[in-house]
Amino acid sequence: MSNEPPSPAVAPLVASPTAATRRRFIATTAAAGGAAVVGALGAGQPALGAETAPGSRVPTDGGSKDHRNAKREKKMRIVAVEEAFSVPGAIRQEEAIRQHLAAPEAIKKEWFRRLEDLTELRLADMDANGVDMQVLSYASPGLEVIEDPAEAVAVARRVNDHLAKAVARHPNRFAGFAVLPLQDPKAAVVELRRAVKELGLKGVLYNDHVRGHYLDEPQFRPVWAELERLGVTLYLHPAVIPADNWRVFDGYPVLVGPSWGWTATVGAHALRLVYGGVFDEFPGASVMLGHMGELLPFQMARLDSRYAHVPVEQRVRHLPSYYLRNNVYVTTSGVMSHAALLGAVHAVGVDRVLFSIDYPFESSAEAVGFLRSAPYAPADLARIAHGNAERILGL
């Protein structure tokens, strides 16, 4: 890390939303009644035009159906980049952990049925909702729950081989993120190289912490070096089992998981990478964050404004916003909100936002409806729907 003060705000390497995008959003909002929208938002009420319901379309021509847009929607390629699968029996602890998941039994049963299926149910769901490709990743709990490094290495090879075979059977429908045995960083480098170079996987997905350790720690620097050398990203995903217990969550289990705790912990982990100098040492490395970037795009101004208070010896080369615009990619997984999408794109740039469903935990129909009705010009919508994934992941 540098002892020099941070450089002035650096212009992002990505383009901001186009003027056409802004015009379309403004026109849509104005059609809904701008003053009414602002008033409703201030009162905490949903506002027509400020937020479009999943599956609905942005009105055009005074509310009449725009046949050209409908035709464009049918043809638009869709790539979803955080779509889960599982390998029955691969992780010994999985069944015990699944039993404690806070969800109705019927819902959990359907999740597990779909996680284990890589053909019939999954492809039918994709076809029914116009999803051309899923980028598959191993479902949580993943390798982070394994204590023995040797076991983690063996499970990683098994899961990655299983995934590669599934992709090979349906190369036009599936791609994949590898798992890594980060309990043994040297072995993780070897498996990363094998997964990318031999198996053709497109990056890595890992569930937050490595048995309480975070990826800014020195032992993981060789992994970052290999990620940068191979030119692939690491998708930082929440973990079912937290690294520690936060007292503020006591008595409120609803706060621990996807409603809030996962966002807080994974967002903080990503900031450790920033403040820990990972991206200064490996400027070509990147992470992908789901759930609209775990809300970090909306915190950028605050992060920058407080950076002046960071002790000089702990500063990195740029303001925090620089890394969020140059080393972080954002996916829409689990956040079907046009307001959030507009904010994320405005913050990090349309070329860094990717569509995701989070199948089977979220509805493909709702997620695709949210995407198709997003208030963006066709070129920008295509980037989010498939173009960015194709470019970043080499699909």
Task: For the beta carbon of residue 100, count every other beta carbon within 10 angstroms.
Answer: 8
* Among 125, 184, 358, 380, the one annotated catalytic: 358
Task: For residue range 47-56, list pLDDT tens digits in order.
Answer: 333 333 333 3
Mean pLDDT of the chain: 84
User: 0.85 cut: is pTM over it?
Assistant: no
Q: Are 146 and 152 within 8 A, CB to CB?
A: yes
Q: Does residue 34 surpass a pLDDT of 80?
A: no
Predicted pLDDT at 215: 98
Active site residue 358: yes
Predicted pLDDT at 27: 41
Whether omega for the bond prior to residue 141 falls within 30 degrees of 0, making it cis, is yes
Task: For residue range 123-154, list pLDDT tens digits in order.
Answer: 999 999 999 999 999 998 899 999 999 999 99
